[in-house]
Structure 1
Amino acid sequence: MISLVLAMVWNRRGQAVTLALLAMLAVASAVAAPAFVIAAERAVAEGQIATASTSELTLVARRTTDSLQEASPNVGIKFPDVGRVLLLGLGGFTFYHSAEVPTVGLEPGNFHPTRFVFRQELCAHVRVLSGRCLAGEGDVLLGEGTAKRLELAAGDPITLTAARANGLARPPTWDPDGPPKKLTVAGVYRAIDPTDAYWGLHGYFVSGSDVGSGEPVFTTAGTLDTMKRTTTAMAIDGIAQPGTLDVDRLDQLRADMERLDTTAAELQDSLQFDSGIPHLLDRIDEGRAAARLLVPVLAVPLVLLACFTIYLTVGYGAEGRQSELAVVALRGARWWTRWWLATGESLVAVLGGAVAGCLAGQLLVNGAAAVLFPGAGTAPAFTSLRYAPLAAAAALVAAVAAQRRQLISPVSRLLRRTPPADRRRLAAAEAVVAVLAIAAGVQYFISADPLTGVGLFAPALIVLALGLIAARLLLPLVNRYAVRALARGRLGVALAGLQLSRRPGAGRLFALLVASVAVAGYAACTVDTAARGRDVEASLGTGADRVLVVESVTRQDLLTAVRAVDPDGRFAMAAVRIPGGSGTPPGLAVDTRALAAVPAWAEGAPSRTGLRAVLHPAEPPPPVIYPGTDIAIEVTATTTGAMQLAVSLSAMDGPGIQILEFGDLKNGTHTYRETVSICENKCRLNAIRVSGTGTAVEATGDMVIRGLGAATSAPLTDAGRWRGTRSARLSAAPDGLRADLRVTGAVADTAWIQPVTTPYPLPVAYAGNPPAAGTIIDSGATTIPVDAAVALPAVPALGRQGVIVDLEYSDLISVTPKLVPQPEVWLNSQAPADILDRLGEHGLQVVSESSATRVKAGLDRQGPAVALWFHLLAAILAGLLGAGALALTVAVDRTRRTEDLAALRTQGLRSRPAGLATLWTYPVLVVIATTVGVLVAAAAWRLTGWGLPLAGLTPPDLPLPVWPRPVALLTAVGAVLAAQFLVAILSGRDLRRRIESR
Structure 2
Amino acid sequence: MISLVLAMVWTRRGQAVTLALLALLAVTSAVAAPAYLIAAGRAIAAGQIATAPNSELSLVASRTVDVRDESTDSAGITFPDVGKVLLDLPGFAYYHSAEVPAVGLEETVDFPSRLVFRQEICAHVRIVSGRCLAGEGEVLIGERTAQRRGLAAGDSVVLSAARQNDQSRPPTWMAAAVPKTLTVAGTYRTADTTDAYWGRHGYFVSGIGISSGEPVFTNPVTLETMERTSTVLTIDGIARPGTIDIERLGELRADLARREQISLELDQVQFDSGIPRLLDRIDDGRAAARLLVPVVAVPLVLLACFTIYLTVGYGAEGRQSELAVVALRGARWWTRWWLATGESLMAVLAGAVAGCLVGQLLVNAVSAALFPGVGAEPAVTSLRYAPLAAVTALIAAVVAQRRQLVSPVAALLRRAPAGDHRRIAAAEAVVAVLAVVTGAQFALSGQPLTGVGLFAPALIVLALALVAARVLLPVVNLLAARALRRGHLGLALAGLQLSRRPGAGRLFALLVATAAVAGYAVGAVDTAGQGRTITAGLGTGADRVVTVQPLTRRDLLTAVRALDPDGAFAMAVVRLPGGSVSVPGLAVDTGRLATVAAWPGGAPGPQALHRLLHPGAPESPVLSAADITIDATTATAGRMRMVVSVSSLAGHGDGLIEMGDLKTGRHRYHQRTEVCRDGCRINGIRLSGAGGGSAITGQVTLHEVNTTAPAPLTDPARWRATGQGRLSAAPDGLRADVQVTASVAEVVWIQPAVTPYPVPMAFAGNRPADPLITGVAPAGIPLAAVATLPAVPAAGRQAALVDLEYLDLLAVDPKPVLDPQVWLGSAAPADVDEQLAAHGLVIVSGTTAAETRAGLDEQGPAIALWFHLLAAVLAALLGAGALALTVAVDRVRRTEDLTALRTQGLRPGPAGQATLWTYPVLVVIATAVGVLVAAAAWWLTGWALPLAGITPPDLPLPSWPGMWSVLAAAGVVLVVELLVAFVGGRDLRRRIERR
SS in 2 for 1:597: helix
Aligned to 2:731: 734
SS in 2 for 1:513: helix
Aligned to 1:199: 198
Aligned to 1:46: 46
Q: CA deviation at 1:584?
A: 2.7
Aligned to 2:160: 161
Aligned to 2:479: 481
The question of whether the paired residues in 1 share the 8 Å contact of 2:558 and 2:651 is answered with no
Q: CA deviation at 1:236?
A: 1.1
CA distance in 2, matches of 1:203, 1:750: 37
Q: Which moved more, 1:177-186 or 1:298-307?
A: 177-186
SS in 1 for 2:711: coil
Aligned to 2:940: 943
Aligned to 1:27: 27
Aligned to 2:891: 894
Q: Which moved more, 1:93-102 or 1:623-632?
A: 623-632
Aligned to 1:366: 364
1:305-341 CA-to-partner distances (Å, cap 9, x unmatched) read: 0000000000000000001111111111111111111
Q: CA deviation at 1:680?
A: 2.7
Amino acid at match of 1:15: Q
The question of whether the paired residues in 2 share the 8 Å contact of 1:209 and 1:821 is answered with no
Aligned to 1:332: 330
SS in 1 for 2:542: coil
Residue of structure 1 aligned with 2:294, choices 289, 293, 296: 296
Q: CA deviation at 1:817?
A: 3.1
Residue of structure 1 aligned with 2:703, choices 693, 703, 706: 706
Q: Does 1:230 align with 2:229?
A: yes
Q: CA deviation at 1:692?
A: 4.2
The question of whether the paired residues in 1 share the 8 Å contact of 2:621 and 2:709 is answered with yes
Distance 1:320 1:630, change over 3 A: same
Q: CA deviation at 1:627?
A: 3.0
CA distance in 2, matches of 1:68, 1:224: 17
Residue of structure 2 aligned with 1:427, choices 407, 410, 425: 425
The question of whether the paired residues in 1 share the 8 Å contact of 2:722 and 2:779 is answered with no
Q: CA deviation at 1:370?
A: 0.4
SS in 2 for 1:237: strand
CA distance in 2, matches of 1:46, 1:888: 43
CA distance in 2, matches of 1:605, 1:501: 51
CA distance in 2, matches of 1:448, 1:260: 37
1:647-675 CA-to-partner distances (Å, cap 9, x unmatched) read: 22223333532223345444322333333
1:376-434 CA-to-partner distances (Å, cap 9, x unmatched) read: 11111000000000000000000001000011111111111111221111111111111
SS in 2 for 1:251: helix
Amino acid at match of 1:131: G
Amino acid at match of 2:490: G
CA distance in 2, matches of 1:664, 1:320: 110
The question of whether the paired residues in 2 share the 8 Å contact of 1:764 and 1:788 is answered with yes
The question of whether the paired residues in 2 share the 8 Å contact of 1:780 and 1:818 is answered with no
For residues 398-477 of structure 1, what are the structure 2 equivalents within 5 Å? 398-445=396-443, 449-477=447-475
Aligned to 2:985: 988
The question of whether the paired residues in 2 share the 8 Å contact of 1:40 and 1:291 is answered with yes
1:752-798 CA-to-partner distances (Å, cap 9, x unmatched) read: 11011111111010111224423122434432111111110000000
Q: Does 1:649 align with 2:634?
A: no
Amino acid at match of 2:506: R
SS in 1 for 2:912: helix
Residue of structure 2 aligned with 1:341, choices 339, 349, 355: 339
For residues 249-648 of structure 1, what are the structure 2 equivalents within 5 Å? 249-267=248-266, 269-445=267-443, 449-618=447-616, 620-648=617-645
Q: Does 1:836 align with 2:811?
A: no
CA distance in 1, matches of 2:279, 2:691: 52
The question of whether the paired residues in 2 share the 8 Å contact of 1:776 and 1:785 is answered with yes
Q: Does 1:661 align with 2:658?
A: yes
SS in 2 for 1:595: helix
Aligned to 2:109: 110
Aligned to 2:179: 180
SS in 1 for 2:247: helix
Q: Which moved more, 1:5-14 or 1:810-819?
A: 810-819
Amino acid at match of 2:196: A
CA distance in 2, matches of 1:751, 1:711: 24
CA distance in 2, matches of 1:424, 1:312: 17
Q: Which runs of 5+ in 1 are unaligned?
A: none
1:562-597 CA-to-partner distances (Å, cap 9, x unmatched) read: 222322322221111121111332121111111112
SS in 1 for 2:311: helix
Q: Does 1:872 align with 2:866?
A: no
Q: Which runs of 5+ in 2 are unaligned?
A: none
Amino acid at match of 1:128: I
Amino acid at match of 2:734: L
Q: CA deviation at 1:976?
A: 0.6
Amino acid at match of 2:270: Q
CA distance in 2, matches of 1:426, 1:540: 52
SS in 2 for 1:672: strand
The question of whether the paired residues in 2 share the 8 Å contact of 1:451 and 1:944 is answered with no
Q: Does 1:976 align with 2:973?
A: yes
Q: TM-score, normalised by structure 2?
A: 0.98
Q: CA deviation at 1:69?
A: 10
Amino acid at match of 1:222: V
Aligned to 1:9: 9
Distance 1:526 1:233, change over 3 A: same
Aligned to 1:679: 676
The question of whether the paired residues in 1 share the 8 Å contact of 2:545 and 2:822 is answered with yes
Q: CA deviation at 1:76?
A: 4.1
CA distance in 1, matches of 2:784, 2:35: 57
SS in 2 for 1:920: helix
1:250-309 CA-to-partner distances (Å, cap 9, x unmatched) read: 000000111111121222x01111110111111111111001110000000000000000
CA distance in 2, matches of 1:334, 1:790: 84
Amino acid at match of 2:800: V
Amino acid at match of 1:571: F
1:45-89 CA-to-partner distances (Å, cap 9, x unmatched) read: 0000001111111111110012269999x8743434222222111
The question of whether the paired residues in 1 share the 8 Å contact of 2:105 and 2:158 is answered with yes
SS in 1 for 2:95: strand
Q: CA deviation at 1:374?
A: 0.8
1:527-574 CA-to-partner distances (Å, cap 9, x unmatched) read: 000000001110011000111222233222222222223223222211
Amino acid at match of 1:825: V
SS in 2 for 1:706: strand
Residue of structure 1 aligned with 2:949, choices 942, 948, 952: 952
SS in 2 for 1:435: helix
Distance 1:846 1:629, change over 3 A: same
Q: CA deviation at 1:709?
A: 4.2
* Matched residues, number: 995
Aligned to 2:91: 92
1:944-996 CA-to-partner distances (Å, cap 9, x unmatched) read: 00100001243111110111111111111101100001100111001001000
Q: Which moved more, 1:535-544 or 1:769-778?
A: 769-778
1:924-950 CA-to-partner distances (Å, cap 9, x unmatched) read: 000000000000000000110010000
Q: TM-score, normalised by structure 1?
A: 0.97
The question of whether the paired residues in 2 share the 8 Å contact of 1:794 and 1:959 is answered with yes
1:125-154 CA-to-partner distances (Å, cap 9, x unmatched) read: 122122111111011111122222222221
CA distance in 1, matches of 2:734, 2:561: 35
Distance 1:75 1:131, change over 3 A: farther
Distance 1:418 1:693, change over 3 A: farther
Amino acid at match of 1:417: R
Amino acid at match of 1:312: L
The question of whether the paired residues in 2 share the 8 Å contact of 1:68 and 1:229 is answered with no
Q: CA deviation at 1:521?
A: 0.2
Q: Which moved more, 1:475-484 or 1:812-821?
A: 812-821
Amino acid at match of 1:273: F
CA distance in 1, matches of 2:447, 2:916: 48
CA distance in 2, matches of 1:696, 1:579: 37
Q: Percent identity?
A: 66
SS in 2 for 1:380: coil
